[in-house]
A and B are shown apart, each in its own frame.
Chain A
Amino acid sequence: MRVTTSTAKQPVEVIKDASMVKQKEMMAAHFDRLTNAKENGDKVASTFVPGNLNELLMCFDLVNNLPEVNAIQSGLRRKSGGFVMEAEKSGHSEDVCTYVKSDIGMMAKGNIGPNGKELPSPDVLLLSYTGCFTFLKWFELLREQYKCETIFLQTPYMADGKVTPNMIQYMVKQLKEDVIPKLEKVSGVKFDIDRLREYLRKSAKAEDDLVYILQSGKHKRSPIDAYFGGIYYIGPIFGAFRGTDDAIEYYKFLRQEVDQRIAAGLGPVTPEGPMGEEKYRLVVEGPPNYTNFRQFWKMFYDEGATVVASSYTKVGGTYDFGFRHDPDRPLETLAEYCLGVYTNRSLPMRIDMLVDYINEYQADGLLINSIKSCNSFSAGQLLMMREVEKRTGKPAAFIETDLVDPRYFSAANVKNRLESYFQMIEQKRSGKGVAA
């Protein structure tokens, strides 16, 4: 499908997958529901993407508002730069996570959402993933601003590389004794565990399709880009749609598209149409840059580089090892979901995952996009890179950008490194055994 957007210079024809158009409609409906919440008498919960408990929130008829997604939307719309500066003006240091600053700046500027309407003040803040210290601080700021109920579900870090029964019990106890009673109080809705089971059943259905789609990157010619395209694919599952019929339909639809592309031997769809020849297959670690998203992506597809697997598509939760939301163990499954978040995994676990991706997806190597303002992701990445290189024998490279602060995206520098990396892969392929 062709969508023509206009910029100040000239109209640019953007080619989108049909599923992307559907997703856009879902997102638009979601933002309308959010911005009309007060009018419609809906209550709003702010929560974060990693380990978010959308099914639980839906049990209380709460509308899910995700501050990181708002920051991403601001980044894609080129508004985050101004918001970040606004936050800095109010005293937030240059080093603070730019999602936070974009959010704070957006609030200071009237809290206008992507649909041009004011986003509602939350009735409750639910922090369900505590692996990122910044999240704690972020919610402290939001609590200060909104003076609303704050719920804190502590998720133990997987330092020893496994989930123990104690960890699950600890989290279930918190859910029973603290999280659920508080959500009942805020919403005025009584908790119904069967309602939760129903949502979880729907989640699992969509999750099966999502996993199928993400693992289609194993095909040689991958039908998807698991990083740039992957960001669209994870939107509904990690956002406000998991547990809904909408999500089931979206992934069913997407899966059909992917199947069609596999059958036709086609590669991913880029903003400029179907991708040309697949020259490089990459595994990417780390979040993308959103302020120059299209330009960044172009640096890959122009060179024939497809991302066949990425860790970022596991930022909300990880399904690689068979986890699906389980309606028969409703509270335990929520705990497991939170625990499985990619950045809640120890460095050795992350290394194992990346090594497996390189092997299973037959990738040419690992590329790390290290985010200036995200310690959750960035800490330890160089070490991870060395280890992955050592274990796979495949070349790795390191680039540095930021989430939504445009000042940290240096196009010439990133392009230079990427081109060097692609040529390095090529040189390694053809130069093996050739003594100079």
Chain B
Amino acid sequence: MRTFVGIDLGSTTTKAVLMDENEKVIGRGITNSRSNYATAVKVVTQEAAVDARFTLFRREVGDEEGNSAEVEEFLKDLERSFRLEQFLEQLDDLEKTCIEQIVGERFAKVEEGVKQALVETFVRLRKEAAALFAPGVVRKSDFFRDIAGSRYLAIAEDVARDAGLAYDLLLNVYDKSIIAVENRPPSGSLSDKFHAALKRISQESGGVDPLMEQAVKTALDIELEETYLVGTGYGRVTLPFSKEHIRSEILCHGLGAHMMYPQTRTVLDIGGQDTKGIQVDPAGIVENFQMNDRCAAGCGRYLGYIADEMNMGLHELGPLAMKSEKPARINSTCTVFAGAELRDRLALGEAREDILAGLHRAIILRAMSIISRSGGIADEFTFTGGVAKNQAAVRELKKLVFENYGEVTINIDPDSIYTGALGGAEFARRAAEGRVEGIEA
């Protein structure tokens, strides 16, 4: 089956969208950009391919919309088991890499002891792995580094103590290995892992519905041919893509928003490091745009700093700001001074929720200025990017849009973070069709 890939290399996360010939999105993937776009692209493409398999399973069983509870339950199990297989594969890689690090003077007299301790640590990690992916378990993160890291540190401490070894020796090999492992995209076959996962479910639950099993196997046999790929986003220039595979993120966001909501005329995208106001015509072609210049004030990264300063998770900021009834009046959205501004306000006795509400308003005010410079808001208006997930930002946006432009339809897609990648995938599909837009043929 022919597929078209759009990859959006953002400053914070990298996103991929896999599209079929009928313009249907069949898979999405996201990963942290980790300052290594080459790896991020591999990881994210694979993630989209994994997601695509699930879409294909649903198609096989005639439940593309995900309406059947039975099918969804089974697919949930399959995904858990698949993730477990993936986790185990990366654990093997981590163990091997750690063992390779046991060299040099530091380990001269304890080489064998450290090696045994490592082996024991990984035996225990593997043993408890299944529990980490058991039904109903909520993992704090889906990234290998976060899941494996916290457990490794805890287990290695016990093992080192029991073996009479210095704990820092085990820490040292881990620190040296984890980045290498993280930057190595999982190499094993996806199909093998799916088959192993299927087997595991079968063992756990005493058998799988043969129809379901057959559907999975049939879907796995469908070859996903990467017909055309288009990269976009700030990282695009560093990739070994040739020019015809690169599009500006402004065009991709414009087209992506148009695909999600065909009536879109104005797009606001607030990403990690930039805020874009884009005007598109009825065909999704960009008419005009404005974006922040060299300063990333008021972009997503600003909220990241605020979250760090407040020792909160990024996703917790919006809900807390929503509790405010008296938003603070804040004008500066300078990311560098975010911490100082915040501490100053706290010292003055202002409530955290009021400060946060004020900060959200300030971000949106800045975005409104960029939009107005791009030509204002026309109906319909689509808001995309990571910040579109933040309900406090959305609340302020709605308020300000109404005050300045009156009644306007505001679209926010739950998958809006993929807008750029979606536009990229559609550009890829059109390019494969011979319709080359936005680049020299």
Contacts and interface: CB of A to CB of B under 8 A. Distances in A.
Interface of A: 279, 304, 382, 386, 389, 395-398, 400, 408, 410, 412-413, 415-417, 419-420, 423-424, 426-428, 430-431, 434-436
By size class, the interface of chain B is 20 to 34
A415 B291 CA distance: 13
B435 A430 contact: yes
A436 B255 contact: yes
B251 A424 contact: yes
Nearest to B253: A420
B440 A413 contact: no
Interface of B: 234, 237, 247-251, 255, 258-259, 262, 282-291, 293-294, 373, 375, 426, 435-440
14 contacts: A279-B440, A382-B373, A396-B288, A400-B293, A413-B293, A420-B251, A423-B248, A423-B439, A426-B439, A427-B251, A427-B438, A430-B436, A434-B437, A435-B282
B283 A389 contact: no
Given A410-B293, A416-B250, A420-B248, 20 more contacts: A386-B375, A389-B288, A395-B288, A397-B288, A400-B293, A408-B294, A413-B294, A416-B249, A416-B291, A420-B249, A423-B251, A424-B289, A426-B440, A427-B286, A430-B435, A430-B436, A430-B437, A431-B283, A435-B283, A436-B255
A301 to B, nearest CB: 14
A423 B427 CA distance: 12
Nearest to B247: A423
Contacts of B255: 436
A419 B285 CA distance: 15
A415 B248 CA distance: 10
Nearest to B248: A420
B133 to A, nearest CB: 40
Given A396-B288, A398-B290, A426 B248 contact: no
Contacts, number: 76
Contacts of B283: 431, 434-436
Contact of B258 (A304, A389, A419, A436): A436
A426 B373 contact: no
Given A410-B293, A420-B250, A431 B437 contact: yes
A431 B439 contact: no
A346 to B, nearest CB: 22
A395 B287 contact: yes
A199 B342 CA distance: 65
A420 B285 CA distance: 12
Contacts of B248: 416, 419-420, 423-424
B291 to A, nearest CB: 7
Contacts of A412: 234
Contacts of B289: 397, 417, 420, 424
Nearest to A418: B248
A426 B437 contact: yes
A436 B426 contact: yes
Contacts of A436: 255, 258-259, 262, 283-284, 426
A386 B374 CA distance: 9
Contact of B285 (A279, A396, A397, A427): A427
A155 B373 CA distance: 32
Greatest chain B CB density within 10 A among A396, A413, A423, A428 is at: A423
Interface core residue of A279, A410, A431 (most chain B CB under 10 Å): A431
Contacts of A389: 288
Nearest to B426: A436
Contacts of A428: 285
A247 B247 CA distance: 45
Nearest to A409: B294
